[in-house]
Amino acid sequence: MGGYLKALLIAFAVPVLNHLFMGLAGFLQLRSVSVPWGQAIGAAAQAPLNYALVQAASVGVIFIVAFPHERREGGLMESVHVRPLIGGVVALCFIAGALMQLPLAEVGNLVQEVWPVSFDELARRHRLINPTTWWGGVSVLLALVLVAPVTEELIFRGWLLQDLKERYGQRRALVWSSLLFGLVHIQPGAVVYAALGGLVLGAVALRTKSTLASIAMHAGVNALPLLLPARLIRIEGFNTLSQQVEHIGWWLLLVSVAAVGGALTIVWRSTADEG
């Protein structure tokens, strides 16, 4: 039980530290410590670059404080299983992640039917991934496609998944690490979305024996909303903003699921399974 509890504490340290650092960033941005905490966080959240800086700081602190010293001896990259892969495998993982975004987005839509998200929150997310300036675009790209995949995969697949695997076996480790990955996303839709995505990311990391594969796949998931804005191609339920819950067309979902399956089949056949 100790391993599960340790993983739980490490996982939830991420959103707690993110909340703390985002508030501090807001105070610095507003140049005042007298404003309410929520207002400080709201001010900081307007700048996408803050998400990248806060996430990097939070994960950095966790690794410095809690990462086992005995695992650092072989070097940081090896200790979190960031191992070289054939370039084609990395590219396929990125493509599979981008395609997986569509069914995961539809999962979020279905959950929203049960646990609605306020329109203001939906509008905030829409603005975040639809920047109006080049600097905003660079900031979002840095935050969502580089920093978030790297930091989250190092924590959940590079560290927690491997520790839990050593203690409880591969299946339990995969389920528990994926559940934790979902829970730290807090909101119901994001919890289900992230937990299901975490299962696939974890399976890919275990199969390839490299966190680099899950980083690439995670980056693909986060990249698609930036690569396919509504002004380029309108997909209801994916890149549109509406007061009502919209759903992605079933035919597009079937094609994307089939394409993800095809890409991952090639990845599976291209990587050795040493058990």
Query: pLDDT digits over 38-67, tens only?
Result: 999 999 988 889 999 999 999 999 999 999
| Residue-level pLDDT at 272 | 67
Which range, of 64-78, 129-143, 223-237, averages the lowest pLDDT? 64-78
CB atoms within 10 A of CB 255: 13
Q: What angle do CA 56, 62, 64 make, to 5 degrees?
A: 100
The pLDDT score that the predictor gives to residue 15 is 95
Residue 3 pLDDT level (bands cut at 50, 70, 90): confident
pLDDT reported for residue 85: 92
Q: Residue 36 and residue 272: Cα distance in Å, rounded?
A: 54
pLDDT per position as a tens digit, 187-216:
877 899 999 999 999 999 999 999 999 999
Q: How far apart are CA 191 and CA 10, in angstroms?
A: 17
DSSP 243: S
Residue 80 has pLDDT above 50, yes or no: yes
pLDDT at residue 274 in the model: 44
**In which region does residue 187 sit, left (phi positive, over 0), alpha (psi from -120 to 50) or beta (all else)?**
beta
Euclidean distance between CA atoms 193 and 6, whole angstroms: 24
pTM: 0.95
**Average pLDDT of 143-158?**
96
Q: Map residue 15 onto helix, strand or coil.
A: helix
CB atoms within 10 A of CB 106: 22
**Alpha carbon separation from 42 to 48, 54, 220 (Å, rounded):** 12, 14, 27
The C-alpha atoms of residue 123 and residue 110 are separated, in whole angstroms, by: 18
Residue 37 near residue 23 (C-beta atoms within 8 A): yes
Nearest one of 181, 250, 207 to 83, comparing CA atoms: 207
Per-residue pLDDT of 81-128, as tens digits, reads 999 998 899 999 999 999 999 999 999 999 999 989 889 989 988 988
What is the total residue count of the chain? 275
pLDDT in tens, 217-272: 999 999 999 999 999 999 999 999 998 999 999 999 999 999 999 999 999 999 86
Q: Where are the alpha helices (DSSP H) in the chain?
A: 2-30, 37-45, 48-66, 76-79, 87-114, 119-128, 134-140, 148-155, 161-168, 170-183, 188-208, 211-227, 250-270
Phi, psi of 243 (to 5 degrees): -70, -25
Cα–Cα distance for residue pair 14/231, rounded to 1 Å: 34
Share of the chain above pLDDT 90, in %: 77
Please classify residue 49 by burial: count the beta carbons closer than 10 Å to its beta carbon, then call 0-12 exposed, 13-18 middle and 19+ buried.
Answer: middle
Hey, is 69 helix, strand or coil?
helix
**267 vs 264: CA distance, rounded Å:** 5
- State the pLDDT at residue 1: 55
Residue 47 pLDDT: 87
Q: How far apart are CA 92 and CA 269, in angstroms?
A: 12
Residue 189 confidence (pLDDT):
78
Would you state the pLDDT for residue 53?
94
* Average pLDDT of span 153-158: 97
pLDDT at res. 255: 97
Q: Is the pLDDT of residue 273 over 60?
A: no
Q: Give pLDDT, residue 76.
A: 82
